[in-house]
C-alpha cells in the first residue's frame, strides 16, 4: 500500500516550510528525496515519524512500525555497540546475525561489541546508527543524509550494505547527492521551496 500525502502544510513562526504538499511514496521501493536547504525535507521526515504535527493535510498508509537515521546519530554514547542495537531489537536477533551486519559495514572486530560508543569516531557512529535502523523491526526506514561525512570507500561499502539489506522494503532517504540515488537505484523526488498546490509523482 503506498503512502499518500495530501495537502500537507507546516509553518514555523509564520514562515511556510511545506505548503499544500501532495506526494505518493511507493511501497517496497527505495525513494530518495532531494532539494535545496529549507524546502522541508527534514520536516517531512519528522512529520512521517510522528515527531512533528502538520498544520494541515492528511497522510494515509503510513506504517505503524518505523525506524530512522536522523541527522544526529542519536546513540546512547555510554552504551556498547551491542547494547545500542539491543535497545531496538531486544533479543529477537541472534548475536551472529548482528555481527554479520556489523562486519558488512566495517565494524566486525569482536572487541567493538563491548566498546562504549563514545569512544568511536563520527563515521563509526554513523555506520552503527544505520545498522541499528536496518535491524529494527520496521516496515519503513526513514534516513536523513545517512552517508554524510563518509570517505568514498566507506560510503560505497555502506551503500552496498544498505541496498542489499533493504531490497523489497520501503525506504525514504534524504540526500543532497544525486550519485547516491543512482547507486541505490532509487526513485528520486525533488522538493522545492513552498508553493501552493505542489504535487510530486
Q: What is the pLDDT of residues 111-127, one digit of tens each?
A: 999 999 999 999 999 99
Q: Give the architecture (CATH level 2) of 1-65+138-201.
A: 3-Layer(aba) Sandwich (3.40)
DSSP helix/strand/coil, 187? strand
Q: Which residues contact 148 (CB under 8 A, 6 or more apart)?
A: 71, 126
Query: Percent of the chain, pLDDT > 90?
Result: 85
pLDDT at 197: 43
Grid cell listed for 34: 532531494
Weakest-pLDDT range from 62-76, 127-141, 145-159, 181-195:
181-195
Grid cell listed for 93: 536477533
pLDDT at 38: 84
pLDDT at 195: 57
- Bigger pLDDT: 198 vs 42: 42
Of the candidates 71, 165, 78, the residue with the CA atom closest to the CA atom of residue 116: 78
The pTM assigned to this predicted structure is: 0.92
Q: What residue has cell string 558488512?
A: 104
pLDDT at 103: 97
Grid cell listed for 166: 533493504
pLDDT at 193: 79
Helix (H) or strand (E) holding 159: helix 152-165
Cα separation, 146 vs 60, whole angstroms: 26
CA within 13 Å, CB half, 4: 4
Weakest-pLDDT range from 41-55, 89-103, 179-193:
179-193
- Bigger pLDDT: 1 vs 59: 59
The model's pLDDT over 52-79, given as tens digits with 9 standing for 90+, comes to 999 999 999 999 999 999 999 999 999 9
Is the model's pLDDT at 198 over the cut of 80?
A: no
Query: Across all residues in the chain, what is the average pLDDT?
Result: 93
Amino acid at each position: 500500500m503506498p503512502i499518500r500525502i495530501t495537502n500537507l502544510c507546516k509553518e514555523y513562526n509564520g514562515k511556510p516550510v511545506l505548503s499544500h504538499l501532495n506526494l505518493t511514496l511507493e511501497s517496497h521501493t527505495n525513494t530518495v528525496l532531494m532539494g535545496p536547504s529549507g524546502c522541508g525535507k527534514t520536516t517531512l521526515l519528522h512529520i512521517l515519524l510522528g515527531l512533528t504535527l502538520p498544520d494541515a493535510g492528511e497522510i494515509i498508509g503510513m506504517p505503524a512500525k518505523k525506524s530512522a537515521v536522523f541527522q544526529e546519530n542519536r546513540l546512547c554514547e555510554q552504551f556498547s555497540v551491542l547494547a545500542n542495537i539491543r535497545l531496538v531489537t531486544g533479543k529477537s536477533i541472534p548475536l551472529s546475525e548482528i555481527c554479520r551486519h556489523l562486519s558488512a559495514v566495517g565494524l566486525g572486530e569482536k572487541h567493538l561489541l563491548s566498546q562504549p560508543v563514545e569512544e568511536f569516531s563520527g563515521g563509526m557512529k554513523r555506520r552503527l546508527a544505520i545498522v541499528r535502523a536496518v535491524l529494527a523491526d520496521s516496515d519503513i526506514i526513514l534516513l536523513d543524509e545517512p552517508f554524510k561525512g563518509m570517505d568514498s570507500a566507506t560510503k560505497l561499502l555502506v551503500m552496498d550494505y544498505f541496498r542489499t539489506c533493504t531490497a523489497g522494503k520501503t525506504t525514504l532517504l534524504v540526500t543532497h547527492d544525486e550519485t547516491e540515488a543512482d547507486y541505490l537505484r532509487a526513485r528520486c523526488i525533488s522538493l522545492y521551496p513552498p508553493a501552493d498546490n505542489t504535487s510530486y509523482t
